[in-house]
Amino acid sequence: MHSVNVEIEVDLPDGVTVRGYERHGAAHVFEIDFELPAKCLCSKCRHEAPTNLRLKNEFLPVRDLELFGQPTFWVYQPPLHQCPRCRQRTQIPTSFKRPRARYTYRFEEQVLALLVGLSVEEVARRLGVSAELVEGILEHRLQAERTIPRDAVITSIGMDELSLKKRHKLYVTVMSDLSDPEHPRVLAVVKGRDREAAERCLAMLSPQQREAVRSHRTDMSAVYPQVCSEQLPNSQLVLDRFHVAKHLGELVDRVRKKHAVSS
């Protein structure tokens, strides 16, 4: 294999710019810059002052999306604000990731989108990250208590159970928007995989939104199809390739295990 130089366009969140690029083995590393707030609040004395920038003496790598199937990282020197009154240094928050997270918001969204139809382990394998990281993102969404915008038109939903077994013995129900099959979006993550969990997911939609749903795709085994047909008056259960593939995958695994035991 050989390499050539090409010029490409990359999408960036508002306020983020690229200062440099370097290839590191199978990874792409972008050195980034981003807009800083004009004023900062001191974490110690609560005094607000114009941003007095100090850069941390280290580079922080943050996982971003993929490029040509290879992981992309952003690196930057974490910016600090030094308080003119008490000299305390406070980390300046970044707009493209959560505090302390080692990945961007859009990477989190990618992980959640892949979880529609794949297990935690499969997503981790596909993205080359640990299952713990994937579970951490799911757990964060579980606690985030997000609401679904009332004006969102959702014509197709998915409902799946996922097990978070690396960090906790925990099952969650994930409800997703499958209106655009190419771009599934996670709408809700709720603890449990029973009737109550399914009902709590659907209760996040308004009655008008539930009426607008035309189809639902769910895990085959659980109570989801039943709850969906009760709560979504105009919706039909549809078989889709994700769930069929998942089901077949489980069957193949079971056959394999059986075979391994008998041989």
Which residues here bind Zn ion, judged by CB under 5 A? 42, 44-45, 47, 83, 85-86, 88
Residues 6+ apart with CB under 8 A from 50: 38, 39, 40
* Minimum distance from residue 100 beta carbon to Zn ion (Å): 22
DSSP labels for 183-220?
S-EEEEEEE-SSHHHHHHHHTTS-HHHHHH--EEEE-S
**Min separation Cβ 89 and Zn ion, Å:** 9
Q: Cβ 101 to Zn ion, closest distance in Å?
A: 26
- Measured N-to-C along each axis, helices 131-144 and 105-114 cross at an angle, to the nearest 10 degrees, of 100
Question: Does residue 72 contact residue 27 with C-beta atoms inside 8 Å?
Answer: yes
Adjacent-strand bridge partners of 21: 30
Residue 158, phi-psi category: left (phi > 0), alpha (psi -120 to 50), beta (remainder)? beta
Would you say 40 or 190 has its CB closer to Zn ion? 40
Q: Output 32 or 83, the one with its CB closest to Zn ion.
A: 83
Query: Which residue, 41 or 144, is less far from Zn ion as judged by CB?
Result: 41
Instruction: Please report how close the Cβ of residue 117 comes to Zn ion at its closest, in angstroms.
Output: 49
Least separation in angstroms between residue 97's CB and Zn ion is: 25
* Residue owning tokens 């995989």: 193
Comparing CB distances to Zn ion, the nearer of 82 and 229 is 82
Closest to Zn ion by CB, 47 vs 146, is 47
Closer CB to Zn ion, 90 or 163, in the complex: 90
Q: Please, what is the minimum distance in Å from the beta carbon of residue 164 to Zn ion?
A: 40
